[in-house]
Amino acid sequence: MSVNSVNSQKTIEQIIEETTGTKASKRNTGELGKDEFLNLLVTQLRYQDPLNPQDDTQFIAQMAQFSALEQMQNLNTSYSASKAFNMIGKVISANTSNASTGTGIITGEVSSVKLQSGKVYVVVNDYDVPVEDVFEVTDDVNKFNTTKLSDYSGLIGFACQGFVFDSDSGEIVGVNGIVREVTKDAYENYAVMDGVTVDVAAVKSTFTSVNPNYIKEYLYDNKGSNVSLIVSDEAGNEVSVNAVLVDFGVDGNGKIKALLDGVKVPVDSILSIKFPQFANEDNESDNNGEDPVIV
């Protein structure tokens, strides 16, 4: 009798690949469970060399290790989920990263929790943040900011002039727009303005491009989307702004102009409030009756 001990024996990597492949449709957690571990051990026994069988105590030890590993993984997921649910309604700060803006920090109130592919996320400003990236939690949304938004509701619908600022450099840039809403976070109250025209100095990103048309191409590709820009004024002050890009164009001096919606302006920086029709008259006089450059 011949024994095919060489051709029928499989490596542990092959067995794991076959086992996880057959179980993928039943268990989509990104980890091996008890059934998979048991199937793995049975498969090892099936394909072992009959002339040199494995010691059964090794399989028992492996089973114990696998079970302990799965319990630790499940415990870690449960702990992360519990920690995330405790953050709902609180203000958190977390590290973020994406292809367009690079790394950064997001701060806001946790509105909900998501569990996806074995990972736990907290939802902040409609952004999914891995719970392990959270580095600060504040118990109360209004712990530092106790003012009432109703105090600023009279701004809604009016044309206002205010400033956006850079807390790191201290630079400020003046902006004008129509207030559509007022919001608050843990530290500041904001008037959210639409129809804000700005001079674009750069795209806020960790990516550096030598393409002279990079800014225009970025703006063209992101019309109607949230963008992160560096805006400037005539004095050379520069401030980062996150808003929705409505349109963009180039003026007679070659400056790139962008029309933005959803620009957050601190209410304390607002120095002018007008009816929209009067603001339009001022804009027409400033442009000498010419149409805006945004096309």
List of residues 6+ apart from 278 with CB closer than 8 A: 159
Whether the CB-CB separation of 94 and 106 falls below 8 Å is answered with yes
Strands in 16-139 per DSSP E: 91-98, 102-116, 119-124, 127-130, 134-138
Q: What residues contact 75, with CB distance under 8 A and at least 6 apart?
A: none
Q: Specify the pLDDT at position 261.
A: 97
pLDDT of residue 295: 43
For the chain, list residues with pLDDT below 50.
1-8, 23-29, 288-295
Q: What's the confidence (pLDDT) of residue 73?
A: 64
Reading the block at residue 231, the tokens are 């805006």
pLDDT of residue 24: 45
Q: What are the boundaries of each domain within the chain?
A: 12-84, 87-138, 149-286
Beta strands (DSSP E) in the chain are: 91-98, 102-116, 119-124, 127-130, 134-138, 159-165, 172-184, 189-194, 196-203, 226-232, 238-250, 256-261, 263-266, 272-274
CATH of the domain spanning 87-138: 2.30.30.140
* pLDDT given for residue 289 in this prediction: 47
Nearest-angstrom CA–CA distance, 162 and 188: 14
